[in-house]
Amino acid sequence: PSTSGQTNPTIFTPTTQDYQKVYDAIAKKLIDEDDYDDGSYGPVLVRLGWHSSGTYDKLTNTGGSNGATMRFAPEGDHGANAGLKAARDFLEPVKKQFPWITHSDLWTLGATCAIQEMGGPDIAWRPGRSDRDVAYCTPDGRLPDASKGSDHLRGIFYRMGFNDQEIVALSGAHALGRCHTDRSGFEGPWTFSPITMTNDYFKLLLDEEWDYRNWNGPRQFQDNKTKTLMMLPTDVVLIKDEGFRPHVDRYANDQEEFFKEFSDVIMTLFELGVPFESGKEARNVFKRTE
Ligand code: ZEM
């Protein structure tokens, strides 16, 4: 009998092919349900994978994607998680179709699928997360606050075990998606192609002039030329801070280098705190949709 709060009896032992079927079902839904935001649920799926993982605290070995505790009110209602119900609801029919997969595996698999299907790098993934009960919800405040500076960013990401290079690489996910006033209070996309993974986030950070937007919302930046793009205070920090800046320069100059380092760091992010019974050899890269 388990005392770990784990609630997922495994019905059978799924193989890599079984997980590929889950990947394919998510990829198909991404294509079919294009009537959302900029034409894809992909970005919000990536955000779900990140917020389920980014609660990790290496000192106490708590939080992280194991558990999928965002299903429960205390964590689901944290301000940082506003809007992620859209992503959880999107994946629910997939969970119904493949009841043997845990929510916590499904959420990181969903993000992995979304990144690949939006033209991002291959991301190695392995199963092994189990769902846990409400008692495992993490306290509010573990995810970054976009209105803050470099000390805050380092505080949050060092707590997960990441370094400056990894903070910059992870931030490149803001090539995707947008901010919503009814979720974070911020507004707008970072790039002109928010449903395609590129290194444009870094190029735009360097190439555009970023002014404070004059509006009633929270302090954010807008590009001086088209006034349609946005950057958060924590994004602009990456070009001001001398520990972060060299990596912005590298990634802006070389998309392949960015993709390689992004792939490594997001795989690590999705595995934080997960008590895998398998070794690294269980990692697999899913085949993309043609
Ligand atoms: Zn985000 N992010 N993020 N991020 N993020 C938003 C949206 C998205 C920060 C942040 O405050 C915000 C990472 C890191 C950080 C994505 C992926 C990743 C939004 C807008 C905010 C405010 C939410 C809204 O209104 O809908 C901060 C401060 C970060 C610190 C560096 C990392 C790491 C990510 C993945 C690896 C994605 C894909 C989105 C777009 C979501 C969408 O719905 O379009």
Domains, the chain: 16-142+266-282 (1.10.520.10), 150-261 (1.10.420.10)
Ligand 1 centroid vs 49 CA: distance in angstroms?
Answer: 11
User: Looking at beta carbons, which pairs linking 208-216 to residues 24 or more positions away fall under 8 Å?
Assistant: 210/236
Interval between CA 186 and ligand 1 midpoint (Å): 11
Task: Indicate which residues carry an active-site annotation.
Answer: 51, 190
Residue 234 in contact with ligand 1 by CB distance below 6 A: yes
Segment holding 31, helix H or strand E: helix 16-32
Q: Largest Cα–Cα distance of the chain, in whole Å?
A: 62
173 in contact with ligand 1, CB cutoff 6 A? yes
Q: Could you give the CA distance from residue 112 to residue 268 in angstroms, rounded to a whole number?
A: 12
Question: How far is the centre of ligand 1, averaged over its atoms, from the C-alpha of 181 (Å)?
Answer: 13
- Is the CB of 81 within 6 Å of ligand 1? no
What's the pLDDT score for residue 290? 83
- What would the two tokens of residue 70 be? 């965002």
Written as tens digits, the pLDDT of the chain (290 aa) is 445 555 566 568 999 999 999 999 999 999 999 999 999 999 999 999 999 999 999 999 999 999 999 999 999 999 999 999 999 999 999 999 999 999 999 999 999 999 999 999 999 999 999 999 999 999 999 999 999 999 999 999 999 999 999 999 999 999 999 999 999 999 999 999 999 999 999 999 999 999 999 999 999 999 999 999 999 999 999 999 999 999 999 999 999 999 999 999 999 999 999 999 999 999 999 999 98
46 Cα nearest atom in ligand 1: 38
Element (H, E) at 212: strand 210-212
CB half-sphere exposure, 25, CA atoms < 13 A = 18
Q: Which atom of ligand 1 is nearest to the CA of 266?
A: 36
171 lines ligand 1 (CB under 6 A): yes
Ligand 1 midpoint to CA 224 (Å): 22
Fill in the amino acid letter for 289.
T
SS (H, E, C) 211-226: EECCCCCCCCEEECCC
Name the residue at shortest CA distance from atom 23 of ligand 1: 179
Which 3 state secondary structure label does DSSP give 86?
A: helix
pLDDT for the residue 40: 98
